[in-house]
C-alpha cells in the first residue's frame, strides 16, 4: 500500500474542506507504515505552507486514540484530525465527543484502513481504503515474475489507496 499517498490524500481532503491545519494521530514510530503516513501528511502540510502541528504517537489501539483525543480536546483551535488508523480514530471521536465536541460540526476526523465497521461508527468514518485483494494479486504476480527472471530483484510495487468519504469530515464553521 502506498501509505504516504493515502495520508497525503486524507490531509489534502481536510485542507480542501477549508481547515487551516490538520493534526496527526500517528502509529508507533518504530513502524514503517506509521512513518510513511507521517511523511505523506507532512509533505502536504508543507506544500500548503502550513506549519506541522506536533505528531501525537499512538499504538494503533482505540485506547491510545482515546488518550490522545483527550489531549486534543483541550486545544480550542482544533478543527481537523487525521488518524493513522481507524481504531485510533474511534478513540479520538469518543474522547472529543465526551468533551462536548461534535463530529464533524466542531472537529473533522479521518481514519486509515476502512475497517468493516468504519461505516457504522457514529458518525460513519471518512477513511482511506487499502485494497488488500490487489496487494495479494500483485505480490503473487511479482513473485512469479521474479522467479522466472522477468523482473529484477528489488522492484517495489505500490497499490494506490482510495479515500472513502463518509460523514465524519466537513468544512470548519
* Tens of pLDDT, residues 64-85: 999 999 999 999 999 999 999 9
- 128/6 Cα distance (integer angstroms): 6
Q: By C-alpha distance, which of 34, 32, 13, 30 is closest to 22?
A: 13
Residue 125: its pLDDT value, please?
Answer: 98
How confident is the model over 108-155, as pLDDT tens digits? 999 999 999 999 999 999 999 998 788 788 878 878 887 888 877 776
All three cell numbers of 33, joined, read 507504515
What pLDDT shows up at residue 74?
A: 97
State whether the Cα torsion 131-136-139-142 is positive or negative: negative
* pLDDT score of 28: 98
Residues recorded for the chain: 173
Is the distance from CB of 24 to CB of 38 less than 8 angstroms? yes
Higher-pLDDT residue of 45 and 151 is 45
- Average pLDDT on 9-19 reads 98
pTM of the model: 0.91
Mean pLDDT of the chain: 94
Amino acid at each position: 500500500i502506498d501509505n504516504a499517498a493515502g495520508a497525503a490524500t486524507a490531509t489534502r481532503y481536510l485542507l480542501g474542506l477549508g481547515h487551516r491545519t490538520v493534526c496527526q494521530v500517528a502509529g508507533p514510530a518504530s513502524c514503517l507504515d506509521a512513518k510513511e503516513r507521517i511523511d505523506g501528511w507532512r509533505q502536504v502540510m508543507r506544500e500548503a505552507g502550513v506549519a506541522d502541528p506536533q505528531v501525537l504517537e499512538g499504538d494503533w489501539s482505540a485506547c491510545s486514540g482515546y488518550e490522545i483525543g483527550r489531549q486534543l480536546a483541550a486545544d480550542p483551535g482544533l478543527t481537523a484530525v487525521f488518524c493513522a488508523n481507524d481504531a485510533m480514530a474511534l478513540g479520538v471521536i469518543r474522547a472529543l465527543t465526551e468533551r462536548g465536541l461534535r463530529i464533524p460540526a466542531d472537529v473533522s476526523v479521518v481514519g486509515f484502513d476502512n475497517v468493516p465497521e468504519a461505516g457504522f461508527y457514529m458518525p460513519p468514518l471518512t477513511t482511506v481504503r487499502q485494497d488488500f485483494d490487489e496487494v495479494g494479486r500483485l505480490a503473487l504476480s511479482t513473485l512469479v515474475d521474479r522467479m522466472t527472471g522477468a523482473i529484477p530483484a528489488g522492484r517495489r510495487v505500490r497499490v494506490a489507496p482510495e479515500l472513502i468519504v463518509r460523514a465524519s469530515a466537513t468544512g470548519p464553521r
